Structure 1
């Protein structure tokens, strides 16, 4: 998860470098095409993969959700500061909790509901509606967090059923296909420099997804989730040092509140799982 965070912050900074020269849909499409080239060594494993109807359906659904989220994210990156993008991304685990209750029937206790409310309050600290003019990028990020939550929930489900390489390759294929018509509609010929940036974006993004899938399969969320808070620190530093973006204390405060709520939700889920875990033989005798 540490590697995942570093990779995703690098992706954010590199996309910011494009400065809107390449349309968001085209940038996203090329990132996944280049990502498929990077994943060529895993294609032999993919060829041997036999998906069940359920796994195929989940893969398609994840591809649709990830496609929409990627489009919104690339658009937001051209409109708002890196720190705001990162802080609002922290809403994704909160949305995952809500979706788990709605879709999987998980129970929402009062403490988890309060934590969700705190996270939404953190989002309001970042957005501050009525106190400043909101950019379309802010609304795009709200959509990004929701769509990515669908993708991550599915990733958590299938990461225990197939290898990390297969999960990432299937995601890249489905998203590349989903982005193709959007990219063709706004296509411009990128410069060699912009292509180099997009190749680097693909490399870091693919590595980030691969590392994240390994983390999901190897450790509980109580281990992986707290590490993601470092992304906000790195994003603030990158935005300030390389893009001249001022450090907005409201954004830092809102991101901290959201992350605190996420950590509480993660901790509560771990405690509940520990309570219902089966006892060992010596405890049952």
Structure 2
């Protein structure tokens, strides 16, 4: 039996933790280089990830699985670097709104590279999401900053990592997939962090440990939301992340409230929610048939 209300509550909590994590990154980002910030966030999260690797010590991985883990770690490393750079260059609300492109890229990539069928509803969702991105960026009407370009690249790379994770999830336990991601990304970020390293105090270490805690709690709440209810029921609740980002950006960082960003994020979120709902309906019909 599904529990839609519980799923929505878990998803709301997940969004709060995600917004809290991004706010901390933005707060510390002006003092610490993006590559170092990203490294500290993942390195300080390793205590949460190492226990997840226990099945790996017992059974090991094949050469093919190791290559997939390395590939996911590489693309995720580059995506995280671009995401942390964007966080320090553009408003919090714009980062959150453009994050909604990730599931659209995943949908498109699954059809191109994983052999999933091209469905009209998926194509419409991709088209609507691109319209939403154009509403946010408004090229020709305002300057497109390096942070916007970085965020587009980050969304594409992170979505590529999710596609690799989807391939891996059928071969190794989910905990191993998550644990290996933390380990490989930490190693991948290390040389970039060393190249720009600046001294940090215990206060900064505490902030970055907070991002690791928030990220872990956010992913846990998201997992509970998916277990409690279909994605179509919980996905609209993620739009609240944009609302909280706008409010937090205005109050904590003095960022102006941009109605175009809210509109563009709403269009993207509507596309994501619609395709998630239609996929859930299609799966239910197939199961009943």
2:91 matches 1:91: no
2:242 matches 1:232: yes
Cα deviation per residue 1:139-159 (whole Å; 9 max; x = unaligned)? 000011111112223334545
The answer to whether the Cα contact below 8 Å between 2:29 and 2:37 also exists between their aligned partners in 1 is: no
Q: Give the deviation of 1:194 after TM superposition.
A: 1.7
Q: Distance in 1 between matches of 2:70 and 2:264?
A: 34
The answer to whether the Cα contact below 8 Å between 2:19 and 2:244 also exists between their aligned partners in 1 is: yes
Picking from 163, 170, 177, the partner of 2:180 is 170
2:67 matches 1:22: no
Picking from 56, 75, 78, the partner of 2:66 is 56
User: CA 1:58–1:220 in structure 2 vs 1: closer, same or farther (change >3 Å)?
Assistant: farther
Q: CA RMSD in A?
A: 2.2
Q: What's the secondary structure of 2:44's corresponding residue? A: helix
Q: Give the deviation of 1:66 after TM superposition.
A: 1.2
Greater CA deviation, 62-71 or 251-260?
A: 62-71
Greater CA deviation, 121-130 or 108-117?
A: 108-117
Q: Distance in 1 between matches of 2:27 and 2:261?
A: 21
With normalisation by structure 1, the TM-score equals 0.89
1:282 maps to what in 2?
none
With normalisation by structure 2, the TM-score equals 0.88
2:260 matches 1:255: no
2:189 maps to what in 1?
179
Q: Give the deviation of 1:25 after TM superposition.
A: 0.5
Equivalenced residues, count: 279
Point out where structure 1 has 5 or more consecutive residues left out of the alignment. 280-285
User: CA 1:184–1:7 in structure 2 vs 1: closer, same or farther (change >3 Å)?
Assistant: same
Alignment of 1:60-209 (within 5 A): 60-159=70-169, 162-209=172-219
Q: Distance in 1 between matches of 2:108 and 2:223?
A: 21
The answer to whether the Cα contact below 8 Å between 2:133 and 2:265 also exists between their aligned partners in 1 is: yes
User: CA 1:43–1:56 in structure 2 vs 1: closer, same or farther (change >3 Å)?
Assistant: closer
Q: Give the deviation of 1:9 after TM superposition.
A: 0.6
Q: Distance in 1 between matches of 2:173 and 2:234?
A: 18
Q: What's the secondary structure of 1:130's corresponding residue? A: coil
